[in-house]
Amino acid sequence: MESDRNSQPDLLQADGIRKHFGGVAALRAVHFALRTGEVHALIGENGAGKSTLAKILAGAVRPDSGTIAIDGHPAAIGTPLDAQRLGIGIIYQELDLFPSLTIGENMAIGNLGLREGSLVRSARLAAFCRPYLEQAGLHCSLQEPLGTLPIGKRQLLAVARALSMNARILLMDEPTSSLSGDAVERLFSLIRALRDRGVAIVYVSHKIDEIFRVCDRATVLRDGETIGTVEIAGTTSAEIIRLMVGRDLRMTVRPDRRTMGDVVLSVEGLTTHKLKSISFELRRGEVLGVAGLVGAGRSELGAALFGLDPIRSGVLRRAGVPIAPRSPGEAMRHGIGLTPEDRRDEGLMMSMSVLENGTLTVLPSMQRWGFLRGSREKSALAKVTDRIALHCPSTDAAVETLSGGNQQKVLLARWLLLDPEVLFLDDPTRGIDVGAKQDIYRAIDDLAATGKGVILVSSELPELLRCCDRILVLRDGQVAAVYDAAEATQEKIMAAATSAFGDRA
Amino acid sequence: MMGLLRRAQSVVALLGILILAAIVSPTASDGARIFLEAGNLTDILRQISLIGIISLAMTFVILTGGIDLSVGSILALSTTLVAMGLTRAWQGASYSSHILWAILAAVAASTLAGALNGVVIASLRIQPFVVTLASMIGVRGLAKWLSRNENIDIGFGRDVAARFAEIFREKAIVIGSYVGAAALFWVLLSRTVFGRHVRAIGDNEKAAEYTGLPILATRIWVYSLSGLLSGFAGVLYAAENHQGNPNAGVAYELDAIAAVVIGGTRLSGGKGSISGTIVGTLIMGVLTNMLRLNNVDSNVEMMIKAVIIVLAVAVQRAE
């Protein structure tokens, strides 16, 4: 696949890059080569390691091992300042700018290109900034606070800032994730102009249509490994999707098709700040999968059902009765539960014990005469921990001492104890080991078998195919497709999620 | 197990200071060590009782990730109100009902001030530091305005106020109040739904929201309790000092926070215990007593305390 017909030497070459976060391997032996004056896509599913690699090249993350060479010379990129000296600039998905500082200050801060001493004078600053702002196509006052600029223009400012640092290599991490249509066009024409001037651009994305519009080559990552590098001109979107998802299905078999009951939750025209007119029905005993890229509105669907995001229009019905939960507490009273995507930040009390975390939703029923009964809590929790094979040294152990898989099980236990009729599981197996995943799949099977309605969000398509009866594919806050599990394939889902093939089912 | 070790560690520190205090203690004419005399030991307990009581509720506040800077001012308001109540003539009322109502009024007003802190913090989502800083200033102003900037003397005659002071400056009453409040708050934190919610909110507010916990109500309760205990401490202060004093309790918030922090409670919330705070209060009290028995300059005393605070937290960090 790698074509060496081009005799131009590589501007940047990374070999054997490895990186572990805790016990999880984010990158294992990644290779990546970048040429002068090309736009090179770094593409892969969520969690494939794209952003980690970009951060390593930008000096924001240090690799465990591996070598990086620039112009054929070994380069040590230990800090973002090292990267700046080497001519590497990065534009993060969450822009690393300061909204309350002015545009000029944002350009100047941490900028080695601006040799000013410790005093910044506005005339010198203006002279310094002007050419780069013009290159980026930005016409604005340097005195304005950055916060007054729309997000699309902030993106352009981030590019101008990187240019003013004399970047020869520009890394862009999902640059279009929060841009509107015409802002995307402006960004693309800027990218093409920079390429023509000899800047090498690494374009991190999982949007296949964008790759075909703006990139020259693409390196595909999957599960932290380099799968291959292809010339965009000589490939098809089907080929790239195959490279992105083409892993073996090594899953336990899902149980026989379940018998489904009444509609336990129906959603009609649900619209929030992120969702546009979502409709579906969930039946007792059904597992409904939700697929889609990050930012497609998967978590926002949960937020709307669980009373976290205000509902702008649309009707929710629980067992036929219209409901409008305005807080998680209200949603819980309507029999809806949710395990959040980010178990550390949104789910668990890390310094509290397994027991205290597990019983948090059912505390009122654990008291006698106003006092909590430890024995009652322990026996209640024991019933569900057996079902999900939660392993911990003691239920008094702090949750932060457990492995990721067992942490997730504690979170699940909390909701199994409350036993809601509808449970929304937001990417429950993210970053946990294979064994724990199987335990969670079994818990999902059990929930469905006992007549609960389960909504399962996942970034792993094989997981959705293993667990779900139907799969809802979201794209840009809308339902892009709905598949029966029997007819769904990874390729179909990925195509619907990225719109590479339109809505063809 | 880890928690037990950590608690044991601060107990060890307390024992160390106790032994040190006994060794360096001056001796009376009969050769007995003054530090170890029953009278001195109970004096220590009496001296720490006010800060001790305030720091119990401060532990709850800090566990939710908050802070209450207004406790000293609320204490001053309470001393003023109880003295005003007692010095007001009330025809036909028995001494006991007069005393009871004066105390109730002062404590109720203090609780209300705390509740107001809680309502503003929880519903307007302003940082607790800012809100309680404001009420620290405002409540102090209220106490001074009510008393027209003067101390209200009580308990120097044969009237109801004297009876009040006589009862509530009794060592057994003061120490008993602290012990009782400590037991109550220990149970509240470790054995009730409310206590569990307090720690859960402080550990991870976002997760508490995702679990449907009553965040708003819990916060309001926590600051109300802080007002209540500060008010009660104010009642004891008035009896002890024979006056309602609108300038009382200055910097008490800092002593209370110090006791909580030395006791191992995390300032960002979620982690900590009442028993730790009690040990922290004792460490500060014994230290003060030891230094004063040895006639150490009170300014030097402050410097030593500063070192102890940083040391205590550094040791817990190392764990």
Q: Min CA distance, A82 vs chain B (Å)?
A: 32
- Is any Cβ of chain A less than 8 angstroms from the Cβ of B2? yes
Range with lowest mean pLDDT among A215-219, A240-244, A381-385: A240-244
Q: Is the pLDDT of residue A253 over 70?
A: no
B210, A338: Cβ pair inside 8 Å? yes
pLDDT in tens, A355-404: 999 999 999 999 888 899 989 999 999 999 888 888 888 899 889 888 77
Nearest CA in chain B to A331: B212
Give the integer Cα–Cα distance in Å for A162 and A194.
12
| Number of Cβ within a 10 Å radius of residue B84 | 17
Give the integer Cα–Cα distance in Å for A183 and A155.
9
Residue B46 and residue B174 in contact, taking contact as beta carbons nearer than 8 Å: yes
B210, A348: Cβ pair inside 8 Å? no
Q: Is the pLDDT of residue B141 over 90?
A: yes
| Number of Cβ within a 10 Å radius of residue B14 | 19
Please give the torsion angle defined by the CA atoms of residues B96, B98, B99 and B100, in that order, rounded to the nearest 10 degrees: 80
Q: Min CA distance, A306 vs chain B (Å)?
A: 9
From A332, A360, A371, residue closest to B200, measured CB to CB: A360
Q: Which of A339, A355, A363 to mutate to test the interface with B (most CBs of B within 10 A)?
A: A363
Q: Which of B188, B206, B211, B216 to mutate to test the interface with A (most CBs of A within 10 A)?
A: B211
- Equal CATH topology for A10-98+150-245 and A263-498: yes
| Range A339-365 average pLDDT | 93
Residue A336 and residue A265 in contact, taking contact as beta carbons nearer than 8 Å: yes
Residue B243 and residue B153 in contact, taking contact as beta carbons nearer than 8 Å: yes
Whose CA is closest to B177, among B247, B255, B222, B237? B237
Fold of A10-98+150-245: Rossmann fold (3.40.50)
A345, B206: Cβ pair inside 8 Å? yes
A427: left (phi over 0), alpha (psi -120 to 50) or beta: left
From B209, B211, B270, residue closest to A351, measured CB to CB: B270
Residue A309 and residue A273 in contact, taking contact as beta carbons nearer than 8 Å: yes
- Is any Cβ of chain A less than 8 angstroms from the Cβ of B144? no
Q: Min CA distance, B125 vs chain A (Å)?
A: 17
Q: Is the pLDDT of residue A174 over 90?
A: no
Q: Which residues of A touch B192 (CB under 8 A)?
A: 367, 370-372
- Token look-up 């009690």 returns B278
**Confidence band, pLDDT 50/70/90 cuts, at residue B250:** very high
Size of interface A-B (CB pairs under 8 A): 71
**Confidence band, pLDDT 50/70/90 cuts, at residue A248:** very low
Helix, strand, or coil (residue A353) = strand
Task: Indicate the pairing of strand A470-475 with strand A287-291.
Answer: parallel
Q: Is the pLDDT of residue A470 over 90?
A: yes
Q: Which residues of B touch A348 (CB under 8 A)?
A: 204, 207
Nearest CA in chain A to B197: A360
Q: Min CA distance, A88 vs chain B (Å)?
A: 36
At residue A310, the pLDDT reads 94
Task: Indicate the pairing of strand A263-271 with strand A278-283.
Answer: antiparallel
Whose CA is closest to B174, among B251, B239, B227, B128? B239
Residue A162 and residue A111 in contact, taking contact as beta carbons nearer than 8 Å: no
Q: What is the ipTM of this complex?
A: 0.86
Give the integer Cα–Cα distance in Å for A53 and A124.
36
A356, B2: Cβ pair inside 8 Å? no
Q: Please state the separation of Cα B226 from the chain's center in Å.
A: 9
Q: Which residues of A touch B266 (CB under 8 A)?
A: 351
Range with lowest mean pLDDT among A177-186, B13-22, B159-168: A177-186
Per domain, the residue ranges of chain A are 10-98+150-245, 263-498
pLDDT in tens, A39-72: 999 998 766 788 889 999 999 999 999 999 999 8
**Confidence band, pLDDT 50/70/90 cuts, at residue A22:** low
Q: Min CA distance, A343 vs chain B (Å)?
A: 8
B196: left (phi over 0), alpha (psi -120 to 50) or beta: alpha
Q: Is the pLDDT of residue B83 over 50?
A: yes
A349, B207: Cβ pair inside 8 Å? yes
**Confidence band, pLDDT 50/70/90 cuts, at residue A438:** confident
Whose CA is closest to A69, among A150, A11, A155? A11
A347, B210: Cβ pair inside 8 Å? yes
B212, A331: Cβ pair inside 8 Å? yes
pLDDT in tens, A276-310: 999 999 999 999 999 988 778 999 999 999 999 99
Q: Is the pLDDT of residue A224 over 70?
A: yes
Rounded alpha-carbon distances, angstroms, from residue A439 to A110, A387, A411, A468, B257:
48, 9, 14, 15, 45
Q: Which residues of A touch B206 (CB under 8 A)?
A: 345-346
Contacting residues for B88 by C-beta, under 8 A, at least 6 apart? none
Give the integer Cα–Cα distance in Å for B210 and A360.
11
Rounded alpha-carbon distances, angstroms, from residue A293 to A82, A296, A474, B118, B276:
33, 5, 8, 41, 48
Whose CA is closest to A373, among A384, A388, A362? A362
Nearest CA in chain B to A344: B207
A360, B211: Cβ pair inside 8 Å? yes
Give the integer Cα–Cα distance in Å for A59 and A107.
19
Please name the helix (run of DSSP H) or strand (run of DSSP E) that holds residue A287, with its range, or none. strand A287-291
**Confidence band, pLDDT 50/70/90 cuts, at residue A28:** confident
C-alpha torsion sign, points B149, B155, B156, B158:
positive
Burial bucket for residue A197 (CB in 10 Å: 0-12, 13-18, 19+): exposed
Q: Which residues of B touch A372 (CB under 8 A)?
A: 191-193, 196
From B191, B210, B213, residue closest to A346, measured CB to CB: B210
pLDDT in tens, A110-142: 787 776 666 667 788 888 888 888 888 888 888
A356, B199: Cβ pair inside 8 Å? yes
From A331, A351, A367, residue closest to B193, measured CB to CB: A367
- Give the sheet arrangement for strand A453-457, strand by strand: A336-339, A422-426, A453-457, A287-291, A470-475, A478-484
Q: Min CA distance, B259 vs chain A (Å)?
A: 21
At residue A502, the pLDDT reads 44
Q: Which residues of B touch A425 (CB under 8 A)?
A: none
From B196, B208, B211, residue closest to A372, measured CB to CB: B196
Q: Min CA distance, B81 vs chain A (Å)?
A: 33
Range with lowest mean pLDDT among B98-107, B226-235, B292-301: B292-301
From B192, B207, B213, residue closest to A347, measured CB to CB: B207
Q: Min CA distance, B233 vs chain A (Å)?
A: 27
* Domain A263-498 architecture: 3-Layer(aba) Sandwich (3.40)
Q: Min CA distance, A201 vs chain B (Å)?
A: 38
